Amino acid sequence: MMLLSIRDLVKHYGAGGFFRRSEPPVRAVDGVSFELERGETLALVGESGCGKSSIGRTILRLQEPTGGTAVFDGIDVFSLDRGALRQLRRRMQIIFQDPYSSLNPRMTVGAAVAEGIEIHRLARGPEVGRRVAALLEEVGLDPSYARGYPHEFSGGQRQRIGIARALAVEPSFIVCDEPVSALDVSVQAQVLNLLADLQRDRGLSYLFIAHDLAVVRQIARRVAVMYLGRIVEEGSTEALLSEPRHPYTAALLSAVPEPDPASGRRRIVLGGEPPSPSNPPSGCPFHPRCFHPAKSDRCRTERPVLRAVGKTFAACHYAESTPTQVPH
């Protein structure tokens, strides 16, 4: 069953404004569409500045969209007034890369987790404390931690606190914005397992925003790869990783450092860096860095649209013949 449907989402920053009239807007998100089923995880993958975090924040209206629609369980999110939006936020939550910056340093962990329960009047009196204790236990923390303050905890524990806080209002959908990127590998594995367990036990849907394809493969069956504010390839994680059709996906995949010296994978080392989203290249935004042997004038002039190629959808004029491995 469909839970969330995003159509032609656009988010521009700095468009207009008195001091910036002459500067072009930053086109952080530039026409993105996708759907998310109940209980499913969709991963949004891309490098810094590709617009993946802006999408998560815009869907929750932590930032206002420039254009497009978002329908969550039949509700048009972008047309809601403040009161209705607050009701909806009970069902849509977000966890961040750095939970420390989203926790109030002067609020105990228990108070931080209880806040949502109290705002939405989900419990009262001693029942609040019982719920907080149960939530802390569910995310693998000792209930006595409720009396502690955020600075007393490690990065992994803080991330668990952030997750407990998100779960407190019993959401059905959580935006996970790089939730394990700042964690050490052994702690990262603990948090990934926790997210998988919570999804299984509570039927949660995740929009999982990440830059690491190996992490994505662990948590999501479906993935969308972003470049300069657009989805350039989308499909099942297995298909996309085994037969990438967009050259950028192939390059991203080959750049993942694999802990196996015998893997024999050839690296595609891309030239250059992602261009500025305020002045994206003409035609295919990837063309200045593209290594596709069939690259032509068409790539410079005509923007490719997302279309079915093999087992995935890819936005490349020559997706049929994309080399998955090239010598450099």
Q: Where does this chain bind another protein (CB under 8 A)?
A: 47-48, 154-156, 184-190, 192-193, 196, 211-215, 217-218, 241, 251-263, 267, 269-274
| Residue whose CB is less far from another protein, 158 or 245 | 158
Q: Which residue's CB is nearer to another protein, number 22 or number 186?
A: 186
Smallest separation (angstroms) from another protein to the CB of 28: 16
Task: Answer left, alpha or beta for residue 299, where phi above 0 means left and psi between -120 and 50 means alpha.
Answer: alpha
Return d(Cα 183, Cα 194) in angstroms, integer: 14
CB-nearer residue toward another protein: 134 or 214: 214
Query: Among residues 88 and 223, whose Cβ is nearest to another protein?
Result: 223
In the complex, the smallest distance separating the C-beta of residue 189 from another protein, rounded to whole angstroms, is 4
* Closest distance to another protein from the beta carbon of 19 (Å): 19
Which residues are CB-neighbours of 263 under 8 A, at least 6 positions away?
A: none
Q: How far apart are CA 45 and CA 244, in angstroms?
A: 14
Q: Which is nearer to another protein, 10 or 182 (CB)?
A: 182
| Residue 271 neighbours by CB distance under 10 Å | 9
Nearer to another protein, 1 or 262 (CB): 262
The CB-of-180 to another protein minimum distance in angstroms stands at: 9
Ramachandran class of 116: left when φ > 0, alpha when ψ lies in -120 to 50, beta otherwise = alpha
Using only C-alpha atoms, what is the Rg of the chain?
21
Spatial distance between the Cα atoms of 320 and 294, rounded to a whole number of angstroms: 10
Helix (H) or strand (E) holding 68: strand 67-72
Question: Whose Cβ is closer to another protein: residue 173's or residue 227's?
Answer: 227
CA–CA dist 181, 201 (Å, integer): 24
* Minimum separation from the CB atom of position 171 to another protein (A): 24
For the bound state, the minimum distance from the C-beta of residue 235 to another protein, rounded and expressed in Å, comes to 16
Q: Residue 150 belongs to what H/E stretch?
A: none
If the CB atoms of residues 89 and 230 are measured against another protein, the closer one turns out to be: 230
Work out how close the CB of 259 gets to another protein at its nearest, in angstroms, rounded to a whole number: 4
Strand (E) or helix (H) holding 206 = strand 205-210
CB 250 within 8 A of CB 227: no
| Residue 42 Cβ vs another protein, minimum distance, rounded to whole Å | 16
Identity at 248, one-letter amino acid code: Y
What values do phi and psi take at 126, rounded to 5? Answer: -65, -20
Token reading at 50: 């590709």
